[in-house]
Structure 1
Amino acid sequence: MTTNSIESDKQLSVEQRDELLNTLKARFEKNKGCHPNLEWVNVEARLEAHPDKLWSLHEMEKTGGEPDLVELHSEKGEYIFVDCSTESPKGRRSVCYDQAALDARKENKPKHSAVQMCIEMGIELLSESQYRELQQLGNFDMKTSSWVLTPDKIRQRGGAIFCDLRYDTVFMYHNGAESYYAGRGFRGLLRV
């Protein structure tokens, strides 16, 4: 496969682009409290100037993430989109943590890993602190859980961390990185 064919795979049709922009605009308007000082026209102009970012947002939407613009800390003037689905995105569940964990698993392998899916989608895995910031905007993962970026010292020992919300409290847990469950996925972040 050539570079040009890979890039053309990451292009949206006019219909896909328009549908995605309409979905994002409706979500933006519905959740104006998350970004009170921003105007959609400026966000849309930035998105249209970065078709690769639109493609990533389309992937987030397609896998059930319901990405929305949130104001996480950013000194660079970037628009930050995060998966805001109530539960961990359906199209990204039953995955282990990373490729090394997937490769290490001998039987009953999941189809994918969270870190590799992020790379393929052009997004970042939420860190624990970003996950906690997201929880300030609503109640997420009350029935599911989400892998979060795992510190190297934990990952080098075979572990990975994930978070969820129970009893009005965000909990962080650990598990073997090769584990996967129907109720565990991951949330991503996109900087535009």
Structure 2
Amino acid sequence: MAKGTEKHIDTAQKEALLKILETRFEKNKERHSDIEWKNVLVKLECKPERLWSLNEMEKTGGEPDVFGYDDKTKEYIFYDFATESPKGRRSLCYDPEALASRKEYKPKNSALAMAAEIGIAILTEEEYNQLQKLGNFDTKTSSWLNTPSKIRKLGGAIFGDYRFETVFVYHNGAQSYYAGRGFRGSLRV
């Protein structure tokens, strides 16, 4: 990690982020009706590196919000709830291997590498379907999804979108990238 890029945010950024997250949380109670913000806040206060990741999710246009709570791990789960695939995470191929395979017209990064830099996981197909039950997301864009290794070994990757009142999961070459395709992430706190 380059000097000056430690994964923390200053007090002013933290306060601003927590206000954004609380406002979004309260405005969208139907996403997490059985969860109280004060309990989420306690967890966030104990995990400053997660605040950094949430801030990166916010900065790249993800509009993170609480999706749920995992009783087994005792963690709150945040998803990107932006209506369209986050603007700051588009025009990326799927993974570093796909990026390295491109000889020309390389994108600036890959979805998996950027997710790792931010400290989040790309949504799985199951998580993407869960997200879509809470609204209509990616009606004009699409989002890379965590791809099964069998598909990836054959050179492919999967992505999802919402068209014709239906969630679709498609495939593409992992090295492809489009201005309208990004990725959505999840973060556990």
Match of 1:141 in 2: 138
User: Are 2:69 and 2:75, in contact at CA under 8 Å, matched by a contact in 1?
Assistant: no
Match of 2:36 in 1: 39
**Cα distance in 2, alignment partners of residues 81 and 90 from structure 1:** 18
After TM superposition, the runs of 4+ consecutive aligned structure 1 residues lying more than 3 A away are none
Amino-acid identity (%): 60
Deviation at residue 19 of structure 1 after TM alignment: 0.3
Match of 1:10 in 2: 7
Deviation at residue 11 of structure 1 after TM alignment: 1.0
3-state SS, counterpart of residue 56 of structure 1: helix
3-state SS, counterpart of residue 105 of structure 2: coil
Residue number among 64, 69, 75 corresponding to 2:66 in the alignment:
69
Residue number among 158, 178, 182 corresponding to 2:179 in the alignment:
182
3-state SS, counterpart of residue 75 of structure 2: coil
* Residue segments in structure 2 that go unaligned for 5+ positions in a row: none
Pairwise CA RMSD: 1.3
**Cα distance in 1, alignment partners of residues 83 and 72 from structure 2:** 28
**Cα distance in 2, alignment partners of residues 177 and 65 from structure 1:** 22
Match of 1:95 in 2: 92
Show CA shifts across 1:93-150 (max 9, x none).
Answer: 0000000000000000000000000110000010001000000011100000000000
3-state SS, counterpart of residue 9 of structure 1: coil
**Cα distance in 2, alignment partners of residues 72 and 34 from structure 1:** 11
**Cα distance in 1, alignment partners of residues 169 and 118 from structure 2:** 25
Q: More deviation in 99-108 or 38-47?
A: 38-47
User: Are 2:70 and 2:76, in contact at CA under 8 Å, matched by a contact in 1?
Assistant: no
3-state SS, counterpart of residue 79 of structure 1: strand
Deviation at residue 75 of structure 1 after TM alignment: 2.7
User: Are 2:157 and 2:171, in contact at CA under 8 Å, matched by a contact in 1?
Assistant: yes
User: Are 1:72 and 1:133, in contact at CA under 8 Å, matched by a contact in 2?
Assistant: no
**Cα distance in 1, alignment partners of residues 123 and 29 from structure 2:** 22
TM-score by length of 1: 0.95
* Residue segments in structure 1 that go unaligned for 5+ positions in a row: none
**Cα distance in 1, alignment partners of residues 106 and 73 from structure 2:** 40
Match of 2:25 in 1: 28
User: Letter of the aligned partner of 2:187 in structure 1?
Assistant: L
Show CA shifts across 1:16-38 (max 9, x none).
Answer: 00000000000000001111111
**Cα distance in 2, alignment partners of residues 73 and 85 from structure 1:** 22
